[in-house]
Every structure is written in structure tokens, then in C-alpha cells.
Structure 1
Amino acid sequence: MRIIIEEMKKIFHPVMMLIFVLINLLMYYIFIDFDVTVFPNGRPATDMYNIGIEMVEKYGYELDEDELKDFKKVFRQEINKADKYIQADQEFAKLGITNYREYQEMRNGDHENPAIERLSSRIMFEDGVDLFWEIPERENIIEEMEFVNERYGYSYTDGKLTDKQELRIQEIVQSGTVNAIFPAYPVQDNFQTISHSIAITILVSVIFMISPIFIRDYKNNMFGLQYSSKIGRSLFMKKVAAGMLSAFIITTFLIIVYYGMYSTNDIGMFLESEINSFMGSVYWYDFTFLQLILMTVLLTYVIMLSMSLLAIFVSSICKNYISIIGILLPLFAVVYWLIKTRALPVEAFFLTRTQWEIGIIYSIMIMIPTAAISWKVKRKQRIDITD
């Protein structure tokens, strides 16, 4: 254990820690800060978020038929407010518009109308009248709920659905899970983006800290001494243990820091909401939002520890930083692509992702580094000191 602690001290050298902090500050301000400090981002995201909060507070985590009737009642009240606003505005009168429906028909007409466009720009962007942002979103929610049996899931899939996908959609609808109140836009979308950024930031940090673990041994020509004794040969696994423990500590620390920042986005009221909602996407599993977050954290650990093991192996076969970068850079690019498009739960559990594909991805990420380290250990035990 003393050797492992000494190796960890080398990894957490003050100079390395200083660079580690600088890397994270840079990555935070480039990739993470916006999604933490600007949420919800603009409109209609803000309106959907506020309507979602209103619905959860008023109806709970599911919307039943009676509650839908109440929501429609609120919608009609909003329309009446918009009618009164329009009737009190002279610019609407000049265009011959007396109510909200007439305004919508003219705005969505076949021919462009510069006057109505200018008027819309004023009330929605200059004056920022909430009614004219909220009404279309409330209307969309009503439409999605009313046609959930016919439409749910199909707008989020490309091409023809497989039998399993069709069965999963019907299962969600028939079970009533689909009635869940969970505004995927913007809550899920924000979580998806920030999870990508956090995972990539942790990946860069872990690789930077762990990959030089064997460089000092090559520079000081320590392998010759290690190969000359049985105890020396066992140092390899102690260094691997030190590297993996350090990677776990780094990952845990950054997860606590970054997801702690994410918690300031005030999404707590949606944590118990089912993510298979008529307001959002379709998943293979019936997770709550909190369970989705926990699965993201868990799979982030798997990715980071697997890549740490791979970085340790690469470090053990490279004698300088240039060769380490040359090998790890394309591997990093592959993992970066997987994080952005495949590997984290928001994408991994989408109905559009076959679950065997995700199983293969994670199996490869675990098996290749493990096999590489096992091969290296066996080779260490029988390598000749003159090799």
C-alpha cells in the first residue's frame, strides 16, 4: 500500500495539479458554463420550462383526463387574455385583427405580410408579451396529449420502426406511463448537453493526469532494475492500482463539482417525473429523471475507468510524451464521438438505439483495456532483463 500511495503522490504532483485546475477552468468556461448559467435558454424554452413547473405543481407528475380538461380551461383563459390585449392595441386594429385566432391565421398565411411580421416581432421580442409565447406551447401540449395514441414516439424515430420499437411504444402508451409530465425540451436537452460536456471534461482531465504514469520510469531507466527481481516485476500492478485509484478519485471529485453546479439549474421538481412522457422522447426503460441522472453518472465512471486503464497501458509501452499523444489522440477522438452520439444514457437508451449495440460498445470499452493490461502483466513476468 505504501508503494501505491507514493505512486499516487507522483500523479498528484503540485505542478500536475496546477495544470489540472487550469484545464478544468478552461473546459468549464468553454463547454459547461453556458448550460449552467443560461437555463432555460431563451424562448420558447423558458415558456415550456415554466409551463412544466406549473403543471407539476398543479397536477403532480402525471396528467389524467380531468386534469387535461382543466389545462384546456387555462388555455382558453389565455386565449381570452390575448384577445383583450389585441383589442386594446391600435396596430392590430389597423390590420383588421380583432382576436388571437385572426392574428394566427394572418401570421401563418400562405403569403408573407411584412406588417404582421413587424407586429409579431414587437410583441414577442421587443415587448416580450408572455401570452404570445405561452399559447402556442400550451396548444402543442394539448395536441400531443390528445393524439398520444396515434403519434407518440413516431416523430422521434427515423424511417420504419422495428417490431420491438412498435411494441415498446404501445407498452408505454397502454401502461399510462406516457401521461408523465416531463418537458424534454428544455430539461432533457439541457441535461443531455451538459452531460456530454462534463464527460468530455473529465476524460481530458483523467487522461492528462494518468497517462504519464510510466514516463518517469523510462527516463530514469528503472525497468532494468525492476526486471532483475521478482518484487520489482510486481511493481507494474501496483502502479496500475495507483493509476486506477487516482482516476476514480479524479472522476468522483469532478462529478461532484460539475453535477453540483448542474443542480443549480432548478430541475428538482422534475426528478421524480417519468422520462417516457408525451412531452418528450421514447426510452427503452421506464426511468425517472433522477434514475436517468444516476445511470449517466454510473456509465461515466465506466467510460473513465476503462479509458484510464487504456491510458495506463499506452503509457507502459511508450517512452516519451509524443508517442503517448500519438496513440491516445485517435482513441480520444473515438471515445469523444461515442460520448456525443452513442454511449451516455440519454442517447444509449433512446428507442432509436438498439440495445445490443450499446452492450457491444461498453463490452469493448471494458474488455480491450483489461485484455491489454493482462497481456502486459504476463509479459512482465517472463521478459528478459536484456530485452
Structure 2
Amino acid sequence: MEIKKCFTWPIIGLLIVMNVLLYSLLVEFHLDNFPNGRPSSERFEIELDMVEKYGEVIDDGEIAEVQREYGKIVEKFEAILKVHPLSQAAGVETIEQYREGERDDEAFNKMRQAFWETDDFDLMWWIQAYEGVFENYRYKDRIFYGEYYRSAQEKERIDELLENESYQYYGSSVVENFITIAENVTIIILFNLMILLSPLFLRDRVNQMVPLQYSSKHGRKIFATKWWAGLALTLFVTTFLIAAYGLLYMGNGTSPFFFMQLYHMDNINYWYDVTFGQYIISVVIGMYLISAIFGMLVIACSSLSGNYLIQMATQIVLIGLFIWLVIPMALGRLFQTYHLPWIVPGIYVGLITLVLLLFYRLLRRERVREIT
């Protein structure tokens, strides 16, 4: 019954409008435009093919095969240059001449403009994408900072990675896209919880229902009942939204990367050897923890606030702290060596301890509370 009371028609309408707006603002772009731009889309297709052919580790022989595919595209592009009248007028027949042409030359600029407006320029995007792959392989150990380390622990971790030749062979767009979506979906979950849970206690107080409830021993148990109802509602909303956005995310076609170690596909160092799939599971667990912690804090504010104005002001401060501090540190930088290894677990332990102590104190207060 307590859960049912949270889903009034005005709240349902507000949730629908808010979710549509937040989806369009925070998530839609990252789902519909992955990979974002060119030659990022071409590079993603190249790396996807490389993953299926060679796996997560690439050697010199395999990169030589990729270079042969690159050579075929260069030959095709240069063949177009040799017969196209505008490129002939500009004296351009090779890829090097095309890149190094004089920008103040009228014939050269006319040729470039013509190529921009035709499908022939697609070959140039593919050429740039392949060259990005080769550069990544050439500097595959560039994630290591040499003599620059944030801590002694990070130096030990980097030395371990170097010793094991745990290099980055692929671009970081897949990981970056996922964590951006995960952070934004978490923000959407928090806004949903804020709207649903805020009236949980406050509605009864505003409607003068508390004295009636507390007139019996059974009525005093309503406080704990509301907390459990709020926790159940938090888990339901979190699960529903994670599942919905997870299905949308699967359309990005990143599943072949799930088995790969993070250090093979990201230029950021991590404390642990985890695959991308394990990282996704860890982030989802973090989303549940953050949502549960935030939901319990919203419920606590609802039980302490005297009116909707105070509740609203408190919620703005609370969600601001989570968006600007908790989510980036505890979720966006999960496992990263940007912080010492105990920092992120410490954030979760500290917040969970705070919520449990707050619930315990409020429950004790309600048991001896006098209603006048």
C-alpha cells in the first residue's frame, strides 16, 4: 500500500515527462551517435573486425595484415586522384600530395571541395581510421607515464603491467562511451527516486495523518514499513531503468569487446585485471549501491522535513553532491589508478555506514516520540 501511494497520476505524468526529457538530454546522443563522428565510426568497424580475427592481443604479423588492407584503400584513392580532372589540374596524384597541398592554391582548394561533396572522400576517412590504428599500435605502451606517478602504488601497478606486456592495442571509445552512459543513467535514476520517494513521509505530515497513525502501537510500525517500502521501490526503479537502458546499449554492437581486458582497450590505468564484461557488472553493482544510498537519504529527508519547500531545497543539495562528487568518483573512476585503491571502496563504505546509522537513529527516535 505504501508503494501504491507513491504512484499517483500526477507523479506518473511527471515521471514520464521527466524521463523523456532526461533521455533526450543525457543518453540519446551517446546511444544514437556511437561511434561519434568520422573517422571514429570507420575505426570502430576496423577494430571490431580485428577483435573477431585476432582477439585482444595483436602482434606484428597481424598488424601487417591490417596494413595490407590499408594499402588497398590507399591504392584505390590514388587511382581516383590520377583520373579525376580536378586533381589532375591541381597536380595531385598521391595521398601525400593530397595532404601536403598548398591551402592557398585555388586549383587545390577546388579539388578538395569537390572531393568533400562526393562519396570518394569516404576513402579518406578510412585511410585516417587505419592510420589511427597503426599509431595506437606503435605507441601501445603510451598509457604508462614514465617517471610521472600519482603514488607509489600506481608505480608498482604500472611496473606490473609493463612486465606482463599488458599494452593498449585498441582505442578507448568503447569504454568511454559505456561509462558516460552509465553515469548519465545513474543521474536519471536519482531524479526518478527523488520524485517518487520525497512524499513518502512528508505527505502524511502535511495531511495531519501522523497523530492518527501514532495513536496505536501498530501505527508506530508504519515508520519502518515506509523505509522498507522505499527500499523496495528504489530497487524496482533501479532495476527497471538499468534493464531498459541496458537493452538500448546492446544495440551499440560492443559485445565482442566484453571478453577483453580493460588495459587492452583503454588508455587509463586500472588497479585490477578485469575484462570489459566484468567492468560492466561492477559498474552496475555500483549503480545499485549509489541508487540505494541516495534513496535512503531521500527517505530520511522526507521523514525530517516539515514542508515541501524544505524538502525541495534539501533534495537539490543532495542530488547536486551526488552528481558532481559521488558519481564521478565512485562510478566514473571505478578501479582507476587516478585515486588510491582504497578511496572508492571507502566512499561506498562511508555512505552505507551513514545511511545505516541514520536509519537506526531515526527508528529509535520514532519509538519514543511524543505526539501532541
- How does the TM-score come out when normalised to structure 2? 0.90
After TM superposition, give the deviation of residue 8 of structure 1 in Å: 1.2
Q: Which residue of 1 aligns with 2:346?
A: 360
Q: What is the CA–CA distance in structure 2 between the aligned matches of 1:273 and 1:121, rounded to whole Å?
A: 41
Q: What is the CA–CA distance in structure 2 between the aligned matches of 1:195 and 1:53, rounded to whole Å?
A: 22
Q: Which residue of 1 aligns with 2:358?
A: 372
Any residues of structure 2 matched to 1:161-200 within 5 Å, and which?
A: 161-178=150-167, 182-185=170-173, 187-200=174-187
Q: What is the CA–CA distance in structure 1 between the aligned matches of 2:124 and 2:344, rounded to whole Å?
A: 42
**Partner of 2:333: helix, strand, or coil?**
helix
Aligned length: 372
Any residues of structure 2 matched to 1:278-289 within 5 Å, and which?
A: 280-289=267-276
Describe the shift of the 1:233–1:205 C-alpha distance in structure 2 as closer, same or farther (beyond 3 A). Answer: same
Once superposed, what is the RMSD of the aligned Cα atoms?
2.6
After TM superposition, give the deviation of residue 339 of structure 1 in Å: 5.6
Q: Which residue of 1 aligns with 2:309?
A: 322
Please point out which of 126, 132, 135 is paired with 1:140: 132
**Partner of 1:148: helix, strand, or coil?**
coil
Describe the shift of the 1:372–1:121 C-alpha distance in structure 2 as closer, same or farther (beyond 3 A). Answer: farther
1:146 partner letter: R
Any residues of structure 2 matched to 1:103-122 within 5 Å, and which?
A: 103-106=98-101, 116=108, 119-122=111-114
Describe the shift of the 1:337–1:68 C-alpha distance in structure 2 as closer, same or farther (beyond 3 A). Answer: same
After TM superposition, give the deviation of residue 325 of structure 1 in Å: 0.5
2:119 partner letter: D
Please point out which of 271, 285, 310 is paired with 2:258: 271
After TM superposition, give the deviation of residue 277 of structure 1 in Å: 1.8
After TM superposition, give the deviation of residue 115 of structure 1 in Å: 5.7
- 1:8-60 per-residue CA deviation (whole Å, 9 max, x = no partner) reads 11123344223222221221122222222232222121111111112122222
Describe the shift of the 1:257–1:123 C-alpha distance in structure 2 as closer, same or farther (beyond 3 A). Answer: same
Q: What is the CA–CA distance in structure 2 between the aligned matches of 1:299 and 1:371, rounded to whole Å?
A: 21
Q: Quick check: 56-65 or 251-260, which moved more? A: 56-65
Q: Quick check: 202-211 or 332-341, which moved more? A: 332-341
Q: What is the CA–CA distance in structure 2 between the aligned matches of 1:168 and 1:90, rounded to whole Å?
A: 57
Decide whether the 8 Å contact of 1:199 with 1:339 is kept in 2.
Answer: no
Q: Which residue of 2 aligns with 1:300?
A: 287
Describe the shift of the 1:215–1:73 C-alpha distance in structure 2 as closer, same or farther (beyond 3 A). Answer: same
2:347 partner letter: I
Decide whether the 8 Å contact of 1:198 with 1:258 is kept in 2.
Answer: yes
Q: What is the CA–CA distance in structure 2 between the aligned matches of 1:67 and 1:85, rounded to whole Å?
A: 28
- How does the TM-score come out when normalised to structure 1? 0.86
**Partner of 1:54: helix, strand, or coil?**
helix
Please point out which of 311, 334, 344 is paired with 2:298: 311
Describe the shift of the 1:144–1:265 C-alpha distance in structure 2 as closer, same or farther (beyond 3 A). Answer: closer
Q: Quick check: 253-262 or 189-198, which moved more? A: 189-198
Q: Which residue of 2 aligns with 1:333?
A: 320
Identity of matched residues, %: 28
After TM superposition, give the deviation of residue 327 of structure 1 in Å: 0.7
After TM superposition, give the deviation of residue 116 of structure 1 in Å: 4.6
Decide whether the 8 Å contact of 1:124 with 1:132 is kept in 2.
Answer: no
Q: What is the CA–CA distance in structure 2 between the aligned matches of 1:235 and 1:306, rounded to whole Å?
A: 21
